[in-house]
């Protein structure tokens, strides 16, 4: 049986643009993983890794026009958004190069012998080493930033782990182009192309997570697909860490005082956030608690006016378009659910943004309305109208884990006069990022970022964005009583690499004044 063709499809027409190779057979997957595994020693040098990451960013910038055009043809995300996503991707590669160079991620801890401890402490020197080959599952909605050259790949390479990326079927041609760029960057820095392999096909993705030489996996996608791979990772004879970002409702609470103060601004802001990128962000606000009464009505009216003005959009592919149209229809058919602006199918290949409203009481106890507490990918949000704080709290207490949770406060509440701190304390258990007076879309690449949250937001406590994303691909190893002559340079007393470290309990930061 011949291997299945992989097609690039234009979501604006539903037409095939052309074939992009074939789906990987089990043998192909095995070859890619073995080649990546064989390449891991080539990544051992931190300086080479940093140069490679920066080189990849430079080559991506060089090829920007071609990459953006290809991605736009496959995803319809538009050149402006894709250009900015590619810039973000390159910035991220550079940021991880900086992480590699600084070396704090190695977590070097040195304890000299202490015979007075119970039990006595011998010479102990700990640092972190790469886990091995990382399987990366690319996302539909970020053809660059969460795909072949994205955060999982960049952080794994930064950690010293080769990757094999399973391309998303929504943008196979973009994936192939980006993989070629990574391959060329690798070669320029004396690394085998296999440090960043690529495979296509659903079955290849399953084979990848089961491969004995795959040591960890990163995933961004749906709850169903992610959970199946998580289960496969856990069921292996040797289970591996599976860092998956699966789904998130991203609740927003608008307090009564905030609505009284600026209903219109909040309604318009919400419209902008929920329709951004045709609602195809994992941090799209999908459930908004708005007070009953005139202020809340004004907020909803402002939201309606802004959403009505939103242009029709093309979703990433027709499967997602179908799921969006069906998901919205199913939700809109629930009792007491209204659609001030009806979301759903528009032109033959486009959808219109909209939103649903529901009394919050309908969500306060289990029932058919629980469907509204599940993510619906696309330009729709659910506005739940609450009468009192108890009702809002009851809904929040029923939510699954989220990437983000947001509250809009009045100026007085934000200044500490009111229950702002109490609300934040209630939101914190729900999410990995809590925001005040903002919108969750727009995930900054920064050391303090955390992009993750309780399940199903993520399958682990880790982040897929920000400097600490590198921690996912490392494990500690302690050297006990290893003679100076045999210590890796990272663990030597004289610190030839100038690494930040903790020695006998005291932090040291070489190169920083006063340390």
Residues 94-113 that bind a copy of itself (CB under 8 A): 104, 107, 109-111
Q: Report 239-278 residues binding a copy of itself (CB under 8 A).
A: 239, 241
Among 424, 492, 495, 497, the residue binding a copy of itself under the rule CB under 8 A is: 424
| Inter-residue contact 141 to 245 (CB < 8 Å) | no
Q: Report 223-242 residues binding a copy of itself (CB under 8 A).
A: 230-231, 234-235, 238-239, 241
Angle at 36 between CA 31 and CA 38, to 5 degrees: 95
Instruction: End-to-end CA distance of the chain: give it in Å, rounded.
Output: 65
Q: How many CA atoms lie within 13 A of 437 on its CB side?
A: 13
Helix (H) or strand (E) holding 260: helix 256-275
Residues 6+ apart with CB under 8 A from 54: 93, 94, 97
Assess 209 for contact with a copy of itself (CB under 8 A): no
In the complex with a copy of itself, the residue whose CB is nearer, 264 or 454, is: 454
**Residues belonging to the active site:** 245, 282
Assess 151 for contact with a copy of itself (CB under 8 A): no
Bridge partners, residue 114, by sequence: 121
Strands (E), 410-499: 431-436, 474-480
In the complex with a copy of itself, the residue whose CB is nearer, 224 or 475, is: 475
Q: What are the φ and ψ backbone dihedral angles of 97, each rounded to 5 degrees?
A: -60, -40
> In whole angstroms, how close is the CB of 423 to a copy of itself at the nearest point?
9
Distance CA 107, CA 126 (A): 8
CA 496, 499, 502, 508 dihedral sign is: positive
> In whole angstroms, how close is the CB of 172 to a copy of itself at the nearest point?
26
Binding mask 69-88 for a copy of itself (x = CB under 8 A): ---------------x--xx
In the complex with a copy of itself, the residue whose CB is nearer, 32 or 95, is: 95
Among 3, 35, 38, 121, the residue binding a copy of itself under the rule CB under 8 A is: 121
In the complex with a copy of itself, the residue whose CB is nearer, 326 or 412, is: 412
Binding mask 388-407 for a copy of itself (x = CB under 8 A): ------------xx------
* Interface segment toward a copy of itself; rule CB under 8 A; list 1-9, 332-340, 371-379, 482-490: 482-490
Among 80, 444, 498, 510, the residue binding a copy of itself under the rule CB under 8 A is: 444
Distance CA 434, CA 438 (A): 10
Among 486, 494, 496, 511, the residue binding a copy of itself under the rule CB under 8 A is: 486
In the complex with a copy of itself, the residue whose CB is nearer, 357 or 404, is: 404
What is the total count of residues that contact a copy of itself (CB under 8 A)? 86
* Interface segment toward a copy of itself; rule CB under 8 A; list 162-170, 252-260, 384-392, 428-436: 428-436
Among 481, 494, 496, 511, the residue binding a copy of itself under the rule CB under 8 A is: 481
Strands 402-408 and 431-436, by their bridges, are parallel
Among 461, 493, 498, 510, the residue binding a copy of itself under the rule CB under 8 A is: 461
Assess 420 for contact with a copy of itself (CB under 8 A): yes
| Inter-residue contact 113 to 121 (CB < 8 Å) | yes
Angstrom CA distances, 446 to 81, 122, 292, 469, stand at: 20, 38, 38, 11
Distance CA 139, CA 431 (A): 21
Distance CA 359, CA 144 (A): 39
Among 79, 293, 388, 442, the residue binding a copy of itself under the rule CB under 8 A is: 442
Count CB neighbours of 179 within 10 A.
21
Distance CA 472, CA 359 (A): 41
> In whole angstroms, how close is the CB of 116 to a copy of itself at the nearest point?
11
Among 37, 125, 189, 284, the residue binding a copy of itself under the rule CB under 8 A is: 125
Binding mask 28-67 for a copy of itself (x = CB under 8 A): ----------------------------------------
With 0-12 / 13-18 / 19 or more C-beta atoms within 10 angstroms meaning exposed / middle / buried, residue 476 is exposed
């Amino acid at each position: 049986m011949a291997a299945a063709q992989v097609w690039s499809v234009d979501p604006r027409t539903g037409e095939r643009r052309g074939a992009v190779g074939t789906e990987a057979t089990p043998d192909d997957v095995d070859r890619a993983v073995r080649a990546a595994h064989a390449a891991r020693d080539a990544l051992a040098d931190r300086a080479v890794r940093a140069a490679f990451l920066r080189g990849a960013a430079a080559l991506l910038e060089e090829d920007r026009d071609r990459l953006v055009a290809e991605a736009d043809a496959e995803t319809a995300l538009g050149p402006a958004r894709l250009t900015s996503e590619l810039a973000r991707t390159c910035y991220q590669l550079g940021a991880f190069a900086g992480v590699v160079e600084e070396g704090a991620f190695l977590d070097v801890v040195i304890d000299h012998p202490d015979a007075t401890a119970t039990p006595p402490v011998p010479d102990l020197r700990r640092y972190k080493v790469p886990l091995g080959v990382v399987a990366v599952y690319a996302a539909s909605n970020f053809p660059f930033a969460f795909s072949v050259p994205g955060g999982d790949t960049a952080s794994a390479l930064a950690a010293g782990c080769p990757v094999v990326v399973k391309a998303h079927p929504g943008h196979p041609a973009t994936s192939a182009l980006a993989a070629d760029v990574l391959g060329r960057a690798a070669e320029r820095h004396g690394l085998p192309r296999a440090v960043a392999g690529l495979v296509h096909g659903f079955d290849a993705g399953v084979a990848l997570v089961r491969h004995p030489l795959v040591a960890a996996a990163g995933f961004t996608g749906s709850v169903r697909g992610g959970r199946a791979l998580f289960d496969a990772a856990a069921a292996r004879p040797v289970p591996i860490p599976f860092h998956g970002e699966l789904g998130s409702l991203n609740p927003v609470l608008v307090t009564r005082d905030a609505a009284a103060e600026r209903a219109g601004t909040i309604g318009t802001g919400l419209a902008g956030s929920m329709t951004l990128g045709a609602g195809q962000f994992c941090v799209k606000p999908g459930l908004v608690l708005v007070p009953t009464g005139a202020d809340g009505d004004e907020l909803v009216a402002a939201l309606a006016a802004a959403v009505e003005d939103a242009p029709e959009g093309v979703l990433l592919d027709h499967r997602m378009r179908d799921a969006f149209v069906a998901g919205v229809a199913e939700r809109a058919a629930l009792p007491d659910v209204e659609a001030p602006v009806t979301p759903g199918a528009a032109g033959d290949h486009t959808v219109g943004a909209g939103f649903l409203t529901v009394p919050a009481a309908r969500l306060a106890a289990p029932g058919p309305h629980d469907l509204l507490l599940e993510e619906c990918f696309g330009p729709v949000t659910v506005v739940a109208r609450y009468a009192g704080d108890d009702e809002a709290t009851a809904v929040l207490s029923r939510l699954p884990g989220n990437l983000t949770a947001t509250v809009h406060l009045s100026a007085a509440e934000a200044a500490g006069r009111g229950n702002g701190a109490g609300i934040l304390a209630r939101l914190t258990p729900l999410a990995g990022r809590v925001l005040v007076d903002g919108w969750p879309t727009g995930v900054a690449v920064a050391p303090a970022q955390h992009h993750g949250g309780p399940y199903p937001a993520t399958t682990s406590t880790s982040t897929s964005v920000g400097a600490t994303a590198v921690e996912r691909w490392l494990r500690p190893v302690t050297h006990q009583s290893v003679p100076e002559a045999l210590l890796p340079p990272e663990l030597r007393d004289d610190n030839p690499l100038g690494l930040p470290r903790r020695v006998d309990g005291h932090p040291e930061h070489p190169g920083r004044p006063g340390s």
